[in-house]
Amino acid sequence: MGMGEQVRRQLAAKALQRQMQRVADDADKPFVPRPAITADTDARGELTRFDTMSQYQHVRIMRQMGDTLKVDSPFFRVHEGMAGATTTIGERTYLNFANYSYLGMASEAPVVAASKAAIDRYGTSSSASRMVAGERPIQQALERALADFYEVEDSVVFVSGHATNVTVIGALFGPGDLIVHDALAHNSIVQGGQLSGAKRLSFAHNDWRALDALLSRVRHEYRRVLIAIEGLYSMDGDIPELKRFVDIKRRHAAFLMVDEAHSLGVIGATGRGVREHAGVAPEDVDIWMGTLSKTLASCGGFIAGSRVLTDILRHLAPGFLYSVGIAPSAAAASLAALRLMQTEPERVATLRERGHRFLHRARAAGFDTGTSEGYAVVPILTRSSLRAAQWANALFDAGINVQPIFYPAVEEQAARLRFFICSTHTPEQIDHAVDTLARLARGAM
């Protein structure tokens, strides 16, 4: 592709980005009441058509972006078997960096066998809410194991990791309270804050000083305050200074919630997460949150903490009370994965070595890896949505599956490829991926 054509595509992409921003701005405008609406006044059906909604306009513009950039969509590809360090797509085997089975548990024989045995005993579904229809021993065993792992009184498991944050924050906090979260916090934390009705503010990413200054200004205006951070940020691969945040939450009389979706099994000498990494006592954090879909090889989320906390959530959190209980097969898989991680700590050490290898080789090749610390998540910043999409497709053609992250998921200058590193990646696979990307960047592909 010539330089002129590339510039033309970039300009067209920027025009679409501006159009998408206008759609978002229009959606945020307050609704202006109209005269009574009837079928006659809505003759064109604009109020009852999905394609007139701002949400659809976003989807439409995103598709136009792909057409403008002249790149195939890298999303929704069909994997035809187990996805780990490698995967099969369209009957071709790919080196896979779009997978967060960080310790390779999702395809391990003991984990698969435990899930199958649970199906044989309990069937494929819990079929109803645990509160009204009863529980299964495997659900309770997983919760006990998670509580013991975190060295806290209790834990409670939900059927979705995203829904865990949404329903827990929404259930615990409300009008008159304040939710303050990292600017790069996961969507589920933001959504939970919005659902709660509490005031929601953010502070600069990983900047504990900014958080301290913010709370010094506004803490007195609110009843209860929740500080929400993550143990390992899934977009940038960096880690908070947890001791600093513990100190701040104490001085400002706030609750501290740590989302360990990507840090459980990944950081800490034995994979116990950010508390082990930082040397923080379990009770120093009020709400430990994690997911079952990454290191723990299944699907769902959990909260670990005091028994008073879990008692509230079991009885009042809508995402637990009004939702089906976690499937026994999913609970069994996570329980088996948790036990396997504890009996085979070398998996965590291997993951750490592989992640650091990728980071150091990528930096040596001249790539911008942002603030990543080399624990399982390493971004390659392209600073261009066009370049991110083109590189992802070129790598796919070369047999490497990695996902681009581009506007509007991130700002244009933050566009990137995001590599998830697993303990099952070999040194040779990591070297091959970085070397292939380096050749691509030099224009040799």
Q: Answer yes or no: are the C-beta atoms of 36 and 366 closer than 8 Å.
A: no
CA distance 370 to 239: 13
Residue 130 has a pLDDT of 92
HSE-up (13 A, CA, CB side) for residue 15: 9
Q: Phi and psi at residue 155, in whole multiples of 5°? A: -150, 160
Residue type, 280: V
The pLDDT value recorded for residue 4 is 60
The per-residue pLDDT for 51 is 87
What are the backbone dihedrals phi and psi of residue 303, each rounded to the nearest 5 degrees, phi first?
A: -125, 135
Torsion from C-alpha of 22, 28, 33, 34, nearest 10 degrees: 30
| φ/ψ bin of 77: left (φ > 0), alpha (ψ from -120 to 50), beta (otherwise) | beta
The 10 Å CB-count burial string (b at 16+, else e) for 303-326 is: bbbeeebbeebeeebebbbebebb
Question: How far from chain centre, in Å, is Cα 32?
Answer: 36
pLDDT in tens, the chain (445 residues): 555 655 556 565 566 556 655 655 565 566 566 666 666 666 566 777 888 888 888 788 777 766 766 667 777 888 888 889 999 999 999 999 999 999 999 999 999 999 999 999 999 999 999 988 889 999 999 999 999 999 999 999 999 999 999 999 999 999 999 999 999 999 999 999 999 999 999 999 999 999 999 999 999 999 999 999 999 999 999 999 999 999 999 999 999 999 999 999 999 999 999 999 999 999 999 999 999 999 999 999 999 999 999 999 999 999 999 999 999 999 999 999 999 999 999 999 999 999 999 999 999 999 999 999 999 999 999 998 889 988 999 999 999 999 999 877 788 899 999 999 999 999 999 999 999 999 999 886 5
Closest C-alpha to 421, from 366, 353, 327, 340: 353
List of domains in the chain: 13-39+55-69 (no CATH), 79-100+345-442 (3.90.1150.10), 108-343 (3.40.640.10)
For 30, other C-beta atoms within 10 Å of its C-beta total: 5
Question: What pLDDT does 443 receive?
Answer: 84
Residues 6+ apart with CB under 8 A from 287: 168, 255, 256, 257, 258, 303, 305, 309
